[in-house]
Structures are given as structure tokens and as C-alpha cells.
A and B are shown apart, each in its own frame.
Chain A
């Protein structure tokens, strides 16, 4: 008897010790590992026309001269950047071992997006330091500690001008500034609804959700928000596609308890992705025809269809999915596929266009190495990488709406569902 081995897929991303002979050797081994892996396993054997041998000939001597681990990482990052694709990264050992990388595990409970060049508070978690300090949506974050936000925004906007990654990179950079060690105090300067500058001393607290780790991905908090936004409209928000057992159980309960609802909303705004196969699992609750696909994953030696397996009693009513520029990877696969199938209407703003399925492996120097193993094309024939999912209804937040505590995308989705009755 032979055994069928179940297949698993995954997806995610970023510092100096003095160079020793051992470190020099492991850095060179890491260089060779990265170079060879890209050569042998990158989904595009032509590497977009890049002369990979010439890259090695030019950059390996640089690695031989690297004096610190930080320099070695920078060389590897530069080499990977030449590929001009997402999901190519070196994950420093320290980042992999700390929760949430540079920012620390503590949160203020503030979600921020850059709108019109300003970092505006778009949501505040209940029972969070920000909620207790009276911070409100629509306020602008202008400084954290002694560091102003504006120069950082200007630099990132310039770097990512014209790129679908702009909002994702802005959101990540500001998010890191709004995280720190639990119990640590920080000062944040805001501009409130009446254009007054206010300083608030805030203490970083434990993030909501449960801490989970998958493979060499950094530990992350998985947060679920399942509720009714109207008595007859279900809502499920998810911050990252991880911890499938808990997430799928919560999702199942949310959908089943809403079987007679007028409509259902899935919110993946700010969700950077995670385990790609979870998109198929969630989609199974909304599709009843066997054989439907979210899209196709093109590996170097094979093609995998992201097939949806319908549940016994899927939800047949209108489905709205909320996305924004910080929705990436699995979020895009989920939203883009159901949009192409005509099964969901998408609300919000264009997604990040960072949708290459990837794996993370351990390098000889202990760092994590993420590389894409496939290209992903959604069911409508569009490659999501560099393009993203374009919503059916563009509903971007504005300062005025946020100050009125309105959620533009959510409101638009609710309105659409309410007008679907009887159609």
C-alpha cells in the first residue's frame, strides 16, 4: 500500500554581529543557497530575462567582503530585489523570534491608513489603549515618540509611486511605529477633528487575538471579528490567514448561524495573507457548484488549480468582500477569485498586487528566506501580481467620513446587500 501525502502551501517578511570565520562561511553558504534556490525553483525559469549567473559573479565577491550579518542581509536583499517580484525576502533571525518584527508585540489598538498624504486613524480596537485615551477615527497621527510621520510617508510614496504596493508599504511602516514592547510607554501626537494638535501618552498592550506560528513565519496574532452589522447581515473580519482550525471553526459558525441572513460580508482589509489554501476553504461556504476555481497556480513543473470544494449547505445569498491596499496575497486570491466567478462583489480600494505563492526556508546563517514558487492567475485570467484586485465599488475612507465614525466600504456593502433583496 502506498500513502497519499497531503499538500500544504504557505506565504510573508526583515538587522549586527561582528564577522567571524564561521559567520563569513555561513553567509557565503547562505548566498549560494539563495542564488541556487532561485535558479532552480523560481516559478519563472527565465527569471524575467535576468542574467542570474552574472548576478552571482558580481555579488558573491561583495558577500565575501561583508563584515557584518547586517551587510550580508543587505546584499541578499539587493540580489532578490533584482527579480522585481513580491514574496522575495530575507527574514532576520531576530525578527523571526520576536513578535511582529521591529515594532514589538505590544499594540495601541490603532489602525492607520495614509489618505491624501496624511496618516489617518481608520479604526480603533475596543478595550485598547487608544480607545481608553479617547482617540477617534479620522484623527491624524503626526508624530510617534520624537519621530515625525510625514518624512517617512514622503519617502515611501516616492519609492512606491505608481506601484500597487504603495499602501501596503505605508501601512506596514506606520504600523511598526505604532507597536512596541508590552508595558512600554510612548507619546503620540495627533491632529484631532478640529485641527488641534494633541499629545497622548499611551502604553503598549497585548494585541487582541491568539499568538500563532506557522513554519518559519514570524509569530503573529490572529484576530477574528465575527458579528452582525445589521440584524440580517453577517460579518466576518480576519487580520491574517493563519491558525486554520480556529479560524475555520469560527467562520463555519458565523456562516451557519447566518443561514437565513439577507447577505454576508467578509472583511480582509489590512490582511497581508498567510496560508493560501485557506482561501479555498472559506470560498467553499459560498459556492455550490462543484469544480469551480479561484484561480491557477503555475509552478515550474506543474500547474495547481485552486479548486473550491462546496460545503454541504453553502450560503447562497449576496456576498460582499471588503479590501484595501493593505490586503495582499491570500486575501487577493480569495477576493479576486470570487469576483471573477461572479460570486462576490468587492468593495474598498485596489489591493496590493502581491500575490505570489511562496515558501520560507531556513538559511545556513539562521535567517529565514522567502521565495515565490509560483505565479498566480485568477479565474478570470488575470495575474494578480503587480495588478491587484480592483473593487467593483470603489469606497475609500475620507477624513470627514472617518470623523463621523463612518466606514465607507462597509456602509457601501451593507447598502448593496439591502438592495439585493428580491432580485
Chain B
């Protein structure tokens, strides 16, 4: 790890000032991706601006018909939040199965969203539920925020403050975990209401994407069998030594079926 300066400002404006003053400075949330990246010298920021000094950034609240989760809310706190479990239980279940217990105690929703790892779980939930990412400058719909492999619409120095999930929707997520790393080889999130369902896929492609073909098939009614024959362009999927794209396509169909089945007949806290 190369050397860097460290600060933990006590106010949001001080955080933003430091990021604006030095374009080589990076915000530090839970560090679950950033610190390993620094160890590998894939990144060498001049300064880490720790967001932990502003507790407001970790709050979870209901606001104007939306569930607002602060960027610094850890996966463990989202999983345990009574509000999330009441308003969007599928999201709490998703958070409960990210990484492992120790990682969930440090990793944050803001970090996950800003990093946009192609196998991260949260981006699928944001995209399927039509959530918005709130930054210090604007509010971006998930459809516009996630732009590709480890890429987002964030500008230099722009900071994710919270994620806003619309309510009165249901959400279910199913993933096939790589047996060693635990990362999703295919994760499918289905969210919506009786009028319209959106389907987002993570882990299988170079970035999270919507499965429009399945969304159309679900427009009449929720039917897990609709996923069995869904058309997935193989060119959109990753092919590597873990799994060829055809195998990933099949995983996507099976995980989509599981997520839909969960929406039809919720299995409670054992689902995931």
C-alpha cells in the first residue's frame, strides 16, 4: 500500500471541500473494496476522506413515501433495520446475504453502489425497484446511474449521500453464489407491483442490466415459468473460467424463477 493522508471531517461540507480541493483524494466508506484495491496498488489516492465522522450519513428513514438509506448504512444495519424489514423486507434479506458477517459489519450501501462491482448485489435491487441515487449535486435514477463495469455516472468529487427506494412495491432477490468467493455468478432481482414488474440481473454480465424480455412476459401476471424460456442475448453475459456465458444464461433463468416464486409465495426469513 502506498502512503496517503487521512482525514475524518465532522461535517458533510468539510468532506465535500476536501474532495473538491484535491482531485486525487478519495472518499472512504466501509473500505471493503477500496482497502484491498490499495493493497494491490491498483489505486493510489493522495488522501482518504473518511465519511465515518458524519453519523447522519448512516441513517435509515422513511421520507415522502420513500425508504431513504444513508450511504454509510452498513449491510448489517440494513439487514437488521426494523424499518427496512417492515417497508421493503426483500431488501433486508438481500443485505443479510452480502459477503460474510464481518464484511456486512463494515461494507456500506453507498460504497457498493458507487463501486458498481459487476457481481455486487445492491445495484440489482436499485435497478429493479426503480430507486434513485442521491448525491451532493443531484438525484439520479438507477437506470442512469449504473453505466457499466465498475462505472457509474458519478463525476469526479461527486459523493453518494443516500439511496431512495420507492415504497408500495415488493422485491425479491435470488442469487447463485460462487462456491468459493461467495460473489453472485448470477443474481436476479424482481421488483414492482401488480401493474408492472422490473427485472435486473447482476453477476452474469459486465454490469447490472435489465431483462426487458422477462419484464414484458410478467406484465400479464407473475409466473415463475415465464423465466424458463426467457431470451438472454449471450453477448451480454460474461464468459470466464468460472462459467461460460451459456451456463450463466441458464443461471439467470433459474434465479429469476426463484425470485418470482418468492414474490408469489413468500417463504419468510429463510429466503434469500
Q: Are A and B interaction partners? A: no
Question: Which B residues fall within an 8 A CB radius of A?
Answer: none
Question: Which A residues fall within an 8 A CB radius of B?
Answer: none
